[in-house]
Amino acid sequence: MLYKIILSSLLCLATSVWGTDLTPDQAASQGKWEQVISLLEAATDTRSLLLRGEAWRALGYVKKALIDHEIAWKRQAADPVIRAWATRTSAETLLSHQEYAKAATRLSAMPSDSSLEEQAKIILVRGRIASVERNLQAAVTAYQLAHTQAQRAKIPAVSIQAQLGLAYLQPAKPEFIYNLATEAASIEPTYSQNALMLAVADLALERNLMDLTESILSHITPNIGLGRQRLEFYTIYEKLLERQQRYPDALSIIARAVAVAHNVQADDILMRLEWRRGLLFKRFGDNDRAIAALRRALRYLESIRADIPISYQKTGTSSFTQSLAPLYLELTDLLLQKATQVTDAAAQPLLQEARTVQEQLKIAEFQDYLGEICPIATVTPEHISDISPYTAVLYPILLANRLELLLGIGTHQYQATVLVSREEIKVTADELSKALRADTIEQQAKNEFVVPARTMYQWLIAPIADRLQAAHIQTLVVTPDSYLRLVPFAALLDQDVFLVERYAVVTAQSITLLAPHPIAESGNVKALVAGMSTPGPVVDEWYQRGFGDTVYASFVRNRKRVAVRGGSAIWTRALTNDPNVTDTRAISRPPLTSEGRDFFKQALALPGVQLETTAVAKTLSANLILNQDFKSTTFGVAMQKPWEVVHVASHGYFGGSPETNTVA
């Protein structure tokens, strides 16, 4: 019944129009952000830049908002009200752009003569920054203070926002959320009231208070704004219908939301809506319509990628990997499922599309890793044979409940499905990686890598081995996914035969990121070759920064053994009383002694580097930087030149964001 009431009310509102002769401030108070931008399109004064920037931010165009707000803030207006507004709203935009440290610094420059109202708003933003940075205690403190200040300043809207922030961080009783809804219902103007009511409805739905969510949506339906506010209404209502398992009604609401999103050109919301629609069709078993919806979602995502800020957590996981990469995998999953249900000829375009989606994902991941959406030159070979004769390209695709092997040979795509879970692959890949990096002679002698190497071979290579042999493949190019990037494919074992004994094994991030042809075909190649066979003073920094943790853990575990042998200590004092310590990053590192430094140099020596780099430099007629010449300053200067090939043979640490990665 409520569904019909809400739907009929919204239909009646579909043609309602608020006054068109509005000032920018009036348009903003009604959430008519497109009109704000239109009215201020040619404006250059500070106040207009601030308001236009807020409109851009509300519409999801954070980078455009950042441009307006940075210009306005740098002007340092004489009017303290404008100056305070510029400081706060530019910090909010930096927060939306996920530049958290810069946003916090911006707020610290807040004018001391700011009004009580502005101070409450600033403290609220500080709470939001602390919250996204997972500094929960600081966030709670800030939200509590913002609530108190807002009450003193008599700005209930800010008080409600602060309480909402607290409710997401701490357990909140249902009575508290009901009271928030009551408070929000008294806010003026109507647009602001609806915005707060929707925020409370979203919280209520998260806490499974579905009756309250329904009540709020019913209450605001007659006055719901047009454009993005209505889209937010539809989004919450669709989630409620899904929670109630009313899937056909949820699809109906998505269809109405899509129509509104098209009218306001909200590609970011269209992407989410089509994604939700695809998942609902998948739930019904209607994979054809699910694929169509996910294709549209991916198209919208590709169109807005440049406007989506990317951040890294302390664990190294990026926001892209968590929030957007699953869309690529959902579409790939359904394409591969459908390919198994049709003839080989009909499967070819589906498999080719799955490969293309995987390439899109890998390019997006690379841009994500760089931290910006920079232009990347890509070359897509029409056929695998265009790369090189007798070459195959393997895409191992990790899905939740299975492993899919997508193999390209010549003009044909082949598919093999292995019923092994993502978690099993993760565990085995980790075992193999650790075993191959055994840090003691005793561990190396155990050959602990053999079992996981054979297991991984059975999963990754055995299902396609006959096809590789029949096509007389000589070079196998692997574009690994997820945890498989930890695996050196050359070391996979078929009984006692390494994969590299049968094929030239190449690991590539993507076959479209680099021109896939032999280097010799490029003519004269501008190449730089660098390497370190024996490390120098860098071992001290390497040790202190924790990048040599495998060697360091060996020191800790063998500490007593060294003492028994009567050998010299390699550090100046005891590190831990626990000989089983393996996670050494939390241990404070004392300075290395000369004996410890020698031990580190021996452990990190790479005897084959000199032969390798000399041979590569000779083959490419390249510049060579080796050993004592391989310094950060020398290498940094050399890297200023436009090299086509850079070959580095040394130690490195790669994980998390680019700023945390190191070559030494």
Neighbours of 340 (CB within 10 A): 11
- If you average pLDDT over residues 98-117, what whole number do you get? 87
Residue 192 has pLDDT above 70, yes or no: yes
Are residues 45 and 113 located together in one domain of the fold?
A: yes
Q: Are residues 423 and 542 in the same domain?
A: no
- The answer to whether the bond into 658 is cis (omega within 30° of 0) is no
Is 61 part of any domain? yes
Pairwise pLDDT comparison (543 vs 49), residue with the higher score:
49
pLDDT above 90: residue 443: no
566 found inside a domain: yes
Residue 505 maps to a domain: yes
CA distances to 244, 386, 516 from 389, in Å = 56, 7, 12
Given a cut of 80, whether residue 402 has pLDDT beyond it is yes
**Which residues have a Cβ under 8 Å from the Cβ of 299 and sit 6 or more positions away?**
none
Query: CA 428, CA 437: separation in Å to the nearest integer?
Result: 14
How many Å from the N-terminal Cα to the C-terminal Cα in the chain? Answer: 67
Q: What is the pLDDT of residue 373?
A: 54
Is residue 613 within 8 Å of residue 544, measured between CB atoms? no
Q: What is the CATH number of the domain that holds 404?
A: 3.30.420
For 409, the 3-state DSSP assignment is strand
* 631 and 505 belong to one structural domain: no
Question: 564: pLDDT confidence band, cut at 50, 70 and 90?
Answer: very low
Helix (H, G, I), strand (E, B) or coil at 487: coil
Buried b (16+ CB within 10 A) or exposed e, 547-556: bbbebbbbbb
Lowest mean pLDDT among 61-65, 271-275, 589-593: 589-593
Between CA 368 and CA 324 the distance in angstroms is 11
Domain match, 41 and 171 both? yes
Token reading at 655:
């994980």
Percentage of the chain with pLDDT > 90? 52
379 in any annotated domain: no
DSSP string, 616-636: HHHHHT-EEEEGGG--HHHHH
* pLDDT of 220 over the 90 cut: yes
CA-based nearest residue to 61, from 303, 361, 311: 303
Q: In what order do the strands lie in the sheet with 623-626?
A: 623-626, 527-531, 645-649
Task: Write the CB contacts of 374 (distance below 8 Å, at least 6 apart in sequence).
Answer: 367
Residues 429 and 508 in one domain: yes
Say how far apart CA 107 and CA 361 lie, in whole Å.
36
Q: Higher model confidence: residue 535 or residue 374? A: 535
User: Could you tell me if residue 281 is inside a domain?
Assistant: no
**Does residue 205 surpass a pLDDT of 80?**
yes
More confident residue, 3 or 167: 167
* Of residues 460, 617, 630, the one with CA closest to residue 533: 630
Q: Is 85 in the same domain as 190? A: yes
Burial of 154 (0-12, 13-18, 19+ CB in 10 A): exposed
Q: Which amino acid is at 276?
A: R
Q: Is the dihedral of CA 512, 517, 523, 527 positive or negative?
A: positive
**pLDDT at residue 466 above 90?**
yes
Residue with tokens 């602060």: 162
What residue type is 257 in one-letter code?
A
DSSP-H helix ranges across 244-343: 247-263, 267-284, 287-304, 319-323, 325-339
- Give the mean model confidence (pLDDT) for residues 165-179: 94
Q: What is the mean pLDDT of the chain?
A: 83
- CB under 8 Å to 619, separation ≥6 — which residues? none
**Alpha-carbon distance 433 to 447, whole Å?**
12
Residue entry with tokens 């009540």: 215
Predicted pLDDT at 150: 96
Do 67 and 193 belong together in one domain? yes
CB atoms within 10 A of CB 173: 10
Asked if residue 122 is part of any domain, the answer here is yes
- Round to whole Å and give the CA distance between 209 and 491: 54
How far from the centroid of its chain's Cα atoms is residue 51's Cα?
30
53-88: pLDDT as tens digits:
999 998 888 889 999 999 999 987 788 889 899 999
**Distance from C-alpha of 151 to C-alpha of 164, rounded to nearest angstrom:** 15
- Per-residue pLDDT at 63: 87
Beta bridge partners of 395: 406
Same domain (yes/no): 532, 594? yes
Distance CA 449, CA 602 (A): 23
From residue 114, alpha-carbon distances to 104, 487, 526 in Å are 17, 57, 58
Whether the per-residue pLDDT at 266 is higher than 80: the answer is yes
- Which of 228, 243, 260 is at the close of a domain? 228
103 and 33: one domain? yes
The residue whose two tokens read 């020398």 is 634
- Mean per-residue pLDDT for 153-172? 95
Per the structure, the count of domains in the chain is: 3
Asked if pLDDT for residue 377 goes beyond 90, the answer is no
Structural domain for 565, as ranges: 523-663
Q: What is the mean pLDDT of residues 9-26?
A: 61
Q: Which residues pair with 571 in a beta bridge?
A: 592
pLDDT digit string (tens) for 380-390? Answer: 555 555 667 88
Q: Which of 110, 146, 144, 141 is nearest to 125 (CA)?
A: 146
The pLDDT confidence band at residue 3, using thresholds 50, 70 and 90, is low
Residue 246, token pair as written in the block = 């009313």
pTM for the whole thing? 0.78
CA dihedral 102, 103, 104, 110 (to 10 degrees): 110
**Which strands make up the sheet holding 391-398, listed edge to edge?**
412-418, 403-409, 391-398, 475-478, 504-507
pLDDT reported for residue 597? 74
Q: What is the pLDDT of residues 274-321, one digit of tens each?
A: 999 999 999 999 999 999 999 999 999 988 877 776 665 554 455 667
Do 98 and 220 lie in a common domain?
A: yes
Per cent of the chain over pLDDT 70 is 79
β strands within 541-637, DSSP E: 623-626
Which of 517, 541, 558 terminates a domain? The answer is: 517
561 lies in the same domain as 438: no
Q: Which of 414-418, 515-519, 559-563 has the highest mean pLDDT?
A: 414-418
Whether 445 and 549 map to the same domain: the answer is no
Residue 255 domain-assigned (yes or no): no
User: Which of 491, 517, 543 lies at the terminal end of a domain, its last residue?
Assistant: 517
**Tens-place pLDDT, residues 505-555:** 998 888 877 655 556 555 577 899 998 887 776 666 666 665 555 555 555
The DSSP H or E segment spanning 477 is: strand 475-478
Which CATH number characterizes residue 212's domain?
1.25.40.10
| Residue 582, pLDDT score | 41
Residue 239 domain-assigned? no
Least confident among 222-236, 260-274, 434-448:
434-448
For 289, the 3-state DSSP assignment is helix
Contact 173, 164 (CB under 8 A): no
> What does the alpha-carbon distance between residue 116 and residue 230 come to, in Å, rounded to a whole number?
32
Helix axes 267-284, 287-304, angle to 10 degrees: 160
Helices and strands of the chain, counted as H and E runs: 30, 12
Spatial distance between the Cα atoms of 34 and 93, rounded to a whole number of angstroms:
18
Q: Please, which pLDDT band fits residue 366 given cuts at 50, 70 and 90?
A: confident
Q: Is 264 exposed, middle or buried (0-12, 13-18, 19+ CB in 10 A)?
A: middle
Look at residues 40, 115, 111 and name the one whose alpha carbon lies nearest to residue 76. Answer: 111
| pLDDT bucket at 215, cuts 50 / 70 / 90 | very high
